[in-house]
Structure 1
Amino acid sequence: MLLLGLASRIYGYLLFDVLELNAGDAFWAAMVYFGVRFILVTRPPLFSLLFSLLFSFGIELSQLYQVEWINNIRGTTLGTLILGRGFLIVDLYRYSFGILMAFVIDVLLFKKKRKQVL
């Protein structure tokens, strides 16, 4: 997910406009979802969906907080990738879409494996 998100930023000009504008944030949020699933593997997918939404929305809302020390972190490449730069309400929709798609993939593709484990 991380590589797809970065590629969408670097090679976005090769994509359709709608993908160029939205894919990076959706992939970032999907990466958050799968990261939560990896760390909290015993929790149900719905927990990961809700936790990922709260986390992603929290990061976006933190962009309303503009002081020098956190802006210095946001000024680095890693800080920008993790914390973003400025609040955009549309990012909340992008995150929701990315997390929802990751949740659907998780539930549909890994459903068979979960049944075998039970």
Structure 2
Amino acid sequence: MKRNRCIYLILIVLVIILGLGSRSGFGPKWIHLYVGDVLWALMLFFIVGLVFKEKNTYWVAVTAVSIAFLVEFSQLYQATWINAIRHTKIGGLVLGFGFLWTDLLSYTIGISIGVLLEKKVFTYSHIS
């Protein structure tokens, strides 16, 4: 699959805006607990697709899941230097703070949404 980098860049920015909005305190509590992680993983899927535009959808999905899970499992490591990075705004958004099994499910859902969008929406609309 050959992806349109311009479209993927727009999608990444849109997902970032939605993700930051999900942390704003608006809406039910479950939104703050799970939707941000789903959107983070969706953004990761789009970033991997942007960088590796010639790779097939499933390769992008496996790579995105691997990165997301690696980041989540890295939260089990609590050294001073990495915690200092985590306590910055960007570091906290990218690396997170503490390991949660539910985050792994959220990441899987977010990346699955990316796969569905790419396979169903982008294929039929000839955007990709």
The question of a shared fold, defined as TM-score above 0.5 by the shorter chain, is answered with yes
Residue 3 (str. 1) matches residue 17 (str. 2): yes
Deviations 1:9-37 (A, max 9, x none): 01x4x323433321100000000000111
Unaligned segments of structure 2, at least 5 residues: 1-14
Looking at structure 1, the residues matched to 82 and 30 of structure 2 have their Cα atoms a distance apart, in angstroms, of 30
Match of 2:118 in 1: 106
Match of 1:22 among 22, 26, 34: 34
Identity of aligned residues (%): 35
- Give, as a single letter, the amino acid of the residue that structure 1 aligns with 2:50: F
Match of 1:31 in 2: 43
User: C-alpha root-mean-square deviation of aligned residues, in Å?
Assistant: 1.4
Q: SS of the residue aligned with 2:23?
A: helix
Q: SS of the residue aligned with 1:36?
A: helix
Looking at structure 2, the residues matched to 21 and 99 of structure 1 have their Cα atoms a distance apart, in angstroms, of 17
How much has 1:102 moved relative to structure 2? 1.2
Match of 1:97 among 109, 116, 125: 109
Q: SS of the residue aligned with 2:97?
A: coil
Match of 2:87 in 1: 75
- Give, as a single letter, the amino acid of the residue that structure 2 aligns with 1:72: A
Q: SS of the residue aligned with 1:64?
A: coil
- Give, as a single letter, the amino acid of the residue that structure 2 aligns with 1:29: A
Looking at structure 1, the residues matched to 112 and 28 of structure 2 have their Cα atoms a distance apart, in angstroms, of 21
Looking at structure 2, the residues matched to 15 and 106 of structure 1 have their Cα atoms a distance apart, in angstroms, of 28
Residue 45 (str. 1) matches residue 45 (str. 2): no
Which runs of 4 or more aligned residues in structure 1 lie more than 6 Å from their structure 2 counterparts after TM superposition? none
How much has 1:111 moved relative to structure 2? 1.1
TM-score normalised according to structure 1 size: 0.90
Looking at structure 2, the residues matched to 72 and 20 of structure 1 have their Cα atoms a distance apart, in angstroms, of 23
- Give, as a single letter, the amino acid of the residue that structure 1 aligns with 2:18: L
